[in-house]
Chain A
């Protein structure tokens, strides 16, 4: 078999990037993968991996060779039926992808987002000031990192107040199912089953409030010729990708700032560093750790042959700490220029919600700088293990109001 003969040319690694040990603390294993070579073979799952910034960027950029339509999880849609109808964005290739993407990018432009800033900032200030004024310790995850996006995002889309508790389990399910059928996958499917029904209901034409983004997506998709099923699928992408990711981004930022008081000091002194602090969090503690591609033809990457039909696992988070790309990559430094990281992906599939995520992160961290004088750890954080995402279940913090 060609796969095996090629596999011998590339370094073979036995590690399991979906084990609890790895998911808890991936950084040493990231180093091992980067050092193994530009491309390596993960024996356990019979697939290729890339963990250096240069190769991850090349795979992301070459969407004709490394396709998304065969799934961006471990399963190859050419061989296995996906558990849900594929996304018209994430799991599609040009030209279909280009058309679908344009429908949405047209609605969520940087200009539109600039108009939202004032409202987002007000609500962040209100929330952070209220939580900081309370006595004792807080849970940085439930009280802040979940509270803020769960207040902002569903209103932005135009979702009803009832049922919003389904958003996090649904997102967690989607991201877990990109991985292998391990315990995280199975548990997420159980927990997500009820959430899925609610999500699908909210995606139907007419369900989202008429003034929100959801209704705009439906209208624009209808105009572009998508039928009702596909309109719902386009909206579904937002409900899958837009909540857990930002929750983890904000939670990870809180953890990084609490553990690096001098960095929080810089932010306090100059709240205009808030956007940079969020960017550095996405680099240093990437909420989305991995995505897959599938080779649609025989490929060569940095001198290594990758045959057609291979799954390629991109370790975005490892690329974001590649010493070939960054100085002191394992240092959380909000004053560095973090642009160029691949935490939001790159190329035709680059995160469609990245400007919204940045806006949420910026508003939240601005509020933190304004209303919190001291931010200290008040216990061990608990990691939430997910096959794709990196984030926290809880983060005990002691806040001193400014």
Chain B
């Protein structure tokens, strides 16, 4: 099973096993990881599931769609080059994401 590492804003790390094909958002929410609000439940409508991808090799990740790109312009914390919506990140390999200061 792929492992997802969540780095919380205070530096604490949580490591979770993810079912292949589930999203970084869904895995966080169903395990009670704080800091991912995911108000819209994964429909790419709310931009409250923002993460920064810290993994160097991002080859295996799904590409940023137009909708995600636009939504990333609406995040509450600053958008960076490694910003993604975690609801759009289906995992197949280990990944490390850092959570922003705020989602709303």
Q: Which residues of A contact B (CB under 8 A)?
A: 102, 105-106, 109-111, 279, 337, 339-342, 344-347, 350-352, 354-355, 358
In the assembled complex, the CB of B39 is this many whole angstroms from the nearest CB of chain A, namely 6
Given that A110-B71, A340-B29 are contacting pairs, would A102 and B66 also be in contact in the complex, using a CB cutoff of 8 Å?
A: yes
A-B contact count (CB 8 A): 52
Nearest CB on B from A324, distance (A):
13
In contact, B42 and A346 (Cβ under 8 angstroms): yes
Given contacts A110-B46, A110-B47, whether A354 and B70 have CB atoms under 8 Å apart is no
Taking CB atoms, residues of chain B closer than 8 Å to A350 are 40-41, 43, 45
In the complex, which residues of chain B have a beta carbon less than 8 angstroms from the beta carbon of A355? 40, 45-46
Within B1-39, which residues are at the interface with A (CB < 8 Å)? 29, 37-39
Main secondary structure, interface of B, reads: loop
Instruction: Tell me, yes or no, whether B73 is within 8 Å of chain A by CB.
Output: yes
Asked, given contacts A106-B70, A111-B74, A339-B29, whether A347 binds B47 with beta carbons under 8 Å apart, the answer is no
Contact assessment for B41 and A346 in the assembled complex, using a CB-CB cutoff below 8 Å: yes
Residues on A with beta carbons closer than 8 Å to the beta carbon of B37: 339
Is B67 in contact with chain A by the CB < 8 A criterion?
Answer: yes
Nearest to B47 among chain A residues (CB) is A110
A347, B87: Cα distance in complex, Å: 11
Q: Provide the main secondary structure of the chain A interface.
A: loop
**Contact mask B37-59 → A, CB, 8 Å, 1/0?**
11111110111000000000000
Residues of chain A contacted by B73 (CB below 8 angstroms): 109, 111
In whole Å, how far is B21's beta carbon from the nearest beta carbon of chain A?
12
A60 to chain B, nearest CB (A): 9
Q: Provide the bound-state CA to CA distance between A152 and B39, in Å.
A: 23
Contact of B39 among A339, A347, A352 (CB under 8 A): A339
Which residues of A sit under 8 angstroms from B70, Cβ to Cβ?
A: 105-106, 109
Write the chain A residue with the least CB distance to B39: A339
Sorting the interface of chain B by its residue count into under 10, 10 to 19, 20 to 34 or 35 or more gives 10 to 19
A347 cross-chain contacts in B, Cβ below 8 A: 43
Chain B residues with Cβ below 8 Å from A351 are 45
List of A residues within 8 angstroms of B74 by Cβ = 109-111
Bound state CA distance, A368 and B68, in angstroms? 35
From A111, A341, A342, A354, contact of B45 by CB (8 A): A354
Alpha-carbon distance between A358 and B41 when the two chains are bound, in angstroms: 14
**Residue on B nearest A110 in the bound complex, by CB:** B74
Does A340 lie within 8 Å of B45, measured CB to CB? no
Asked if B66 and A279 sit within 8 Å, CB to CB, the answer is: no
Closest to A106 in B: B70
A350 vs B45: C-alpha distance in the bound complex, in angstroms?
Answer: 8
What A residues does B41 contact at CB under 8 A? Answer: 339-342, 344, 346, 350
Q: 1/0 contact trace for B67-87 toward A, CB 8 Å?
A: 100110110000000000000
Residues of A within 8 A of B67 (CB): 102, 105
Question: B38 → chain A, closest Cβ, in Å?
Answer: 5
What are 8 A-B interface contacts by the 8 Å CB criterion? A106-B70, A110-B45, A339-B38, A339-B40, A339-B41, A344-B41, A346-B43, A354-B43
Q: Chain A contacts of B66 at CB under 8 A? A: 102
**CB-CB < 8 A to A109: which residues of B?**
70-71, 73-74
Residues of chain A within 8 A of B47, CB atoms compared:
110
Give the most central of B37, B39, B46, B47: most A CB within 10 Å: B39
Minimum-distance CB pairs A-B, first 6: A350-B43, A111-B74, A110-B74, A340-B41, A109-B74, A110-B47
Q: Which residues of A contact B38 (CB under 8 A)?
A: 339-340
Residues of chain A lying within 8 A (CB to CB) of residue B71:
109-110
Shortest Cβ distance from residue A351 to the other chain B in the assembled complex, whole angstroms? 8
State the CA gap A232–B99 with chains docked (Å): 42
Q: Once the chains are docked, how many angstroms separate the CA of A155 from the CA of B62?
A: 40
Interface centre among A279, A340, A358 (most CB of B within 10 A): A340
Distance, CA A102 to CA B73, complexed state (A): 15
Alpha-carbon separation in the docked complex, A109 to B68 (Å): 11
Bound-state CA distance A354–B42 (Å) is: 13
A279 to chain B: which residues have CB within 8 Å?
Answer: 39
Cα A355 to Cα B48 with chains together (Å): 11
Q: How far is the CA of A340 from the CA of B36 in the complex (A)?
A: 13
Q: Which A residues are in CB contact (< 8 Å) with B40? A: 339, 344, 350, 354-355
In angstroms, Cα B42 to Cα A347, docked, is 8
Within the complex, the shortest CB–CB distance from A264 to chain B, in Å, comes to: 23
Q: Quick one: closest A residue to B38, CB to CB?
A: A339
- For the complex with contacts A105-B70, A339-B38, A346-B43, 5 further pairs of A-B residues with Cβ separation under 8 Å are A109-B74, A339-B29, A339-B37, A344-B40, A352-B45
Task: State how many angstroms separate the Cβ of B90 from the closest Cβ of chain A.
Answer: 12
